[in-house]
Amino acid sequence: MNIRAILGTGALLALTALAVPAAAAEQRIIHKERSLYRNISVAEMGDERCMLFRARRGLGRESCMRISDPDHLVFEYAPMMLSSLFLNPQPPARILIIGQGGGTLPMALQKMAPQAAIDVVEIDPAVDRIARRYFGFVPGPKTKVYIEDGRVFVKRAQRQGQKYDLVMLDAFEADYIPEHLLTQEYLQEVKSIMGPNAALASNTFSSSALYDHESTTYASVFGTFFNLKLGNRIILTRLGTLPNAQEIRTNAAAYDAAFRRRGGDPTYIFTLMSTGADWNRTARILTDQYSPSNVLNTMPRGN
């Protein structure tokens, strides 16, 4: 199924420019520290403030906000991740987010899905502290932040029989997703804590030597998925059968105003939704015994 072909191309509005930094502004470092896991900086460039991780290829922008409009979604991948709300007619009651960053996704979901209980998992306490101090992250009364490894959290939730209606995988080190959060076994654990018809959104790269391997790994666990590609590749899927084009449009209508207030365009996102397999279907599946992400991932981060 190709939603792009069904819904048409749509207008490319502000979404395509969301990841472009304020090029004319001079960068000013306002905070720097060495955490247990990485070197972290906070920089301001005009009206934009970003959390930066030191990576092999320099500083990587992990999270950014518009100072004058904190609700605005600076990175193009954020509306794509939030479009997972379009996969079901009922709003999610429980949401799990693996990877906090500056708190962009949980802050947006607190407003767009106010009925939901949200669990946010972040391994680095410094990231949580910086998100609260510099990026306006304030957990709401239904939001809990857990400072621990995402896989450990999922394994415990699995043992306790917890179920989520929406799971977002957005955990990154400086260069890419940690290798133990890429494997078939991990995705099977994630699937086990998803309730009936639960949706999944996963943030990956659209150009990477891992692309084929990630694709076959996700397909081995979830079957067919929507493949949204700009600078980043977002994998969207739902347990059971995927919704058709009309169902997605109908479900999305409830969120249209909220998306547009944040600089996104649901109509454009529809054009990105394709189930076409543009990868090598024979690529080796990533497992706990075979997940050499540090070797395979040779491309810079897309956001």
Report the catalytic residues: 170
- The long-range contacts involving 210-213, CB below 8 angstroms and separated by at least 24 positions, are 210/176, 210/182, 210/286, 210/293, 210/296, 210/297, 211/279, 212/279, 212/280, 212/283, 213/283, 213/284, 213/285, 213/286, 213/296
| Residue 235 contacts residue 211 (beta carbons within 8 Å) | no
Helices (H), the chain: 3-7, 77-82, 104-112, 125-134, 150-160, 184-192, 211-222, 245-252, 256-261, 266-272, 293-296
Report the C-alpha gap between 48 and 164 in whole angstroms. 33
